[in-house]
Structure 1
Amino acid sequence: MAQHTNTSKFIGFSTYLIHQDSIESPMFDSLVSQTNLVERAIRRSRSRLSHFKSILKLPDHAKEISDIESTLVKTPEEYLMEISIGTPPVKQLATIDTASVIVWTQCLPCMKCYEQIQPMFNSRNSLTYNVLRCNTTQCKSLERHNIHGCLEATHKCEYKVTYKDKSITYGDLALETYKIGNTLLPNMVYGCSNANKGGFDMNTAGIIGLGRGPLSLVGQLGHLIRGKFSYCLVNWMERNTRSKISFGANAIVSGRGTVSTRLVSKYPFHLYYVTLEAITIQNKRIKRVTKSIENKKIVEKGNMVIDSGSMLTYLPTDMYQELEDELISAIGVAIPVQNPSEADYKLCYKNTTNIQFPTIIFHFAGGANLALTSTSTTIRYMDLTCLVIVPDNDLGVAIFGHMSQMDYLIGYDLKNWKIYFKPTDCSMHQI
């Protein structure tokens, strides 16, 4: 039975995350080989990297007047989340994005909707659907993002998001009831997308934004969940498994082995930044130097983005090269081979050599040391074992991808502005 929220309480609820290549995903294809799965994930990571480059490399004057319309890039996402919308509730699978700040799905009646495999939500059939007016606080909160509009005849609030690839999602901004897990969440701001243009994926109903912002899912639930959400990601190559996402009281990460580091606020403000200080392999410590002041090299705060949308972890080229050199030295006898494909991997070995990748420790500010074993730093690709950490020198910040996050319970505390990590067998961390 669904539980209604009490706005004076600290609530907690959980649901599953479904990787887009898992058996439960509408994108599942049993005929796709492991090699093709990895290649698809690489393409998504590459698209995601381009997304970050487009928003992180804006000139300073653009940053001063930036808005969501000028910074959003539609990219293929890795994980789907089940959310039910309306009364009676209609189940939708939508992509989660820790870099998006609004919740929208396609919505009937539709002027121009893209083809969607799932049943589409029909706002006319919902008893709790209520379009917002232009003078409401929620509608006005979109002004600084330049994604809201107003129909003068009806004073109806509308939103419009234009992505970098010229795709557009447009529709009414409304209040609606969500159901996540067994918890009903009334009066949530919802983008009823009834006009779309461009290359949207028929397998997903829309986007669930988990980024910083008043109208993202976590932003709206701030007073109920006290700014807390967490997830635990299983190995996505095991296609019959689920990951878990939790909110509020269910998202507290504590106990033996838990470490934390501070989140850093910087442009663009809807992303989650942390400070990577160094990486250690065996006894070799590789420092992350990003700034020079008066001939002193220091670590710049907020030099890494925690991202759920990229499989790969990206490091600056100089830091990566030190890492690769130390790995080759530590592995010893085996000789790395040239990656023969168009994949982005730089360090690969033949599977027949039976090599052992050493543990790689990421050191974050505040003493948060994450020990990553080969299961979260390497992947089988064709007849190779390859490192999923790769170089990129054009980004300005590093990206901590979702393979590096596997088998850690990761908790975001946006009230105290911290992120927590706890080593966890995520396959056992179920609802």
Structure 2
Amino acid sequence: MSNCPSYPIQKWCHAATGPPSRPVLAGHLQREAVPGGNAPPGPTASAYIHAKVSGNGTKELQQSAVTIPTSPGFSLGTAEYVVTVGVGTPAVSQVMSIDTGSDVSWVQCAPCPARSCYSQKDKLFDPAKSATYAAFSCGSAQCAQLGGEGNGCLNSQCQYFVTYGDGSATTGTYGSDTLSLTSSDVVKSFQFGCSHRAAGFVDQVDGLMGLGGDAESLVSHTATTYGKAFSYCLPRPSTSAGFLTLGAAGGAAGFAHTPMARSRNAPTFYGVFLQAITVAGTRLDVPASVFSAGSIVDSGTVITRLPPTAYRALRAAFRKEMKAYPSAAPAANLLDTCFNFNGFSTITVPKIALTFSRGAVMDLDISGILYGGCLAFLPTGTDGDTGILGNVQQRTFEVLYDINSGSVGFRPGAC
């Protein structure tokens, strides 16, 4: 417990903790995912999403639920969040990042020619050693379902190719196997890519779990078992007690709900409409029309992107409230509002709240405001670009995706 000075109700007192070093921070910021494990820094990510959303570029029965732990991926070189699951028979442990901004799940697989796969935490999954693995044929419905992420045929087996906003990519064979979420919760015929070539990945995660809204995602695959509602809580970096729940209760208490926006051109994405931003109890003078392009909620993107007009107003208000602390050099040439907290045992950070349509409010946790000693927001390219609600700002909230009812919910203090 720290000895905090008295402070206004709209501010928090927070014991200073050691932020990530600048080289590590730079790596994390470069490894953002849109629509999968990665996204380009700065405005390119949101421009990519905006192009998809704008078109440039059976009844479900919820029967049960399953919850598995989530944890920060810093020890594996990523600022995304990960789950540990079993793939194959017998089950082989695989650590996968969770991504609501993409659909195709994949793990690296043997055989993988030298330099074709990146170094990862666990041994490569070997489909030849699994009694339940099967590659999809080129004429299968599952192969056709890949659409633009299909990559033709090799040895009569369906091939996939997924490329991400920063140029990283994965390609290989598309097939199915048993997915063990827990010892008693098993998904048969889990569809995923067996990656035999990957480029541009700098972490040690074994693969990626696609939780997007299109047909290839785990959410769609399991809808008849768990229904089309899921939630997660992404914990602070100092803890590891988060969770991912498939079959989340859409009507659960304690959530602030906002309508979910979907696009026929880009069914992967779950959209929301930001209406206002408040800093230290004062609403920023930013017209709601600035946010008219909407934002996607993306667990695979680290830092939230705002329209430039909103970002500049937020930055100015935040700097004013943080004038007691000396400024520091920008982090990774991206985050431009950074502070030097050396010599301070506690820091007082202004509260930031995001208000969405129908009045849903996210009062951000302290870990969702500062990242490595910097204001954890970035601007999009233009005010007309689609924004992103990144995973840093989602920390400690249970974020509920209730697809059937068309809403996104936020419950504070869930982990």
Using the size of structure 2 for normalisation, the TM-score is 0.76
Shift of 1:372: 1.9
Aligned to 2:159: 158
Matched, 1:326 2:306: no
Q: Distance in 1 between matches of 2:241 and 2:390?
A: 18
> What are the equivalent positions in structure 2 for 1:282-297 lying under 5 Å apart?
282-286=280-284, 289=287, 291=289
Q: 1:368 maps to which residue?
A: 360
8 A contact 2:328–2:340 mirrored in 1:
no
- Residue 277 of structure 1 contacts residue 288 of structure 1 at CA under 8 Å; is this kept in 2? no
Change (3 A) 1:149 1:42: closer
2 CA distance for matches of 1:299 and 1:162?
A: 28
> What residue is the counterpart of 1:409 in the other structure?
398
- Counterpart CA distance in 1 for 2:359 and 2:47 is 32
Q: Matches of residues 4-403 of structure 1 in structure 2 within 5 Å?
A: 34-45=21-32, 47=40, 49=42, 52-53=45-46, 55-56=48-49, 58=51, 63=55, 66=57, 78-110=80-112, 113-117=116-120, 118-142=122-146, 144-151=147-154, 155-163=156-164, 168-182=169-183, 183-193=185-195, 195-201=196-202, 203-236=204-237, 238=238, 241-249=240-248, 252=250, 254-255=252-253, 257-266=254-263, 267-286=265-284, 289=287, 291=289, 300=292, 303-330=294-321, 334-335=323-324, 337-343=326-332, 344-351=334-341, 352=343, 356-379=348-371, 381=373, 386-394=374-382, 396-403=385-392
Deviations 1:170-207 (A, max 9, x none): 322222110012311101212222x3153344722222
Q: Percent identity?
A: 26
C-alpha distance in structure 2 between counterparts of 1:87 and 1:115, whole Å: 24
Structure 1 residues 168 and 55: CA distance shift in structure 2, 3 A: same
**Whole-angstrom distance in 2 between the partners of 1:99 and 1:59:** 12
Most deviating of 102-111 and 163-172: 163-172
Q: How much has 1:166 moved relative to structure 2?
A: 5.8
Q: Distance in 2 between matches of 1:59 and 1:186?
A: 31
Report if aligned partners of 1:273, 1:305 keep a CA contact under 8 Å in 2. Answer: yes
The Cα offsets for residues 284-339 of structure 1, whole Å up to 9 and x where unpaired, read as 32365465xxxxxx752x511222233322222221232233344556xx446443
**What residue identity is the alignment partner of 1:317?**
P
Cα drift, residue 33 of structure 1: 5.8
After TM superposition, give the deviation of residue 146 of structure 1 in Å: 4.7
SS at match of 1:326: helix
Higher mean alpha-carbon deviation, 115-124 vs 208-217, is at: 115-124
Amino acid of the structure 1 residue aligned with 2:247: G
Q: 2-side partners of 1:287 and 1:176: how far apart?
A: 52
Q: CA deviation at 1:365?
A: 0.6
In structure 1, list runs of 5 or more residues that go unmatched: 1-31, 67-74, 292-297, 427-431
Question: Whole-Å Cα distance in 2 between the matches of residues 52 and 359 of structure 1?
Answer: 27
- Write the distance in 2 (CA, Å) between the matches of 1:197 and 1:216: 20
Alpha-carbon RMSD: 3.2
- 1:397, 1:299 → 2: CA distance? 8
The one-letter amino acid of 1:345's match is L
| The 10-residue stretch of structure 1 (398-407 or 320-329) with the greater mean CA deviation from structure 2 | 320-329
How many angstroms apart in 1 are the aligned matches of 2:331 and 2:279?
28
Q: Is the 8 A contact 1:132 1:139 kept in 2?
A: yes
Instruction: Give, as a single letter, the amino acid of the residue that structure 2 aligns with 1:215.
Output: E
SS in 1 for 2:296: strand
Q: Distance in 1 between matches of 2:352 and 2:404?
A: 30
Q: Counterpart amino acid of 1:422?
A: R
Runs (5+) with no aligned partner, structure 2? 1-18, 33-38, 58-76
Tell me whether 205-214 or 34-43 shows the greater mean CA deviation: 34-43
Q: 1:39 to 1:169 in 2, by over 3 A?
A: closer
How far apart, CA to CA, are the structure 1 residues paired with 2:201 and 2:318?
40
The answer on whether the counterparts of 1:227 and 1:415 sit within 8 Å (CA) in structure 2 is yes
* Cα separation, 2, equivalents of 1:355 and 1:111: 50
Distance in 2, Cα, partners of 1:59 & 1:219 = 20
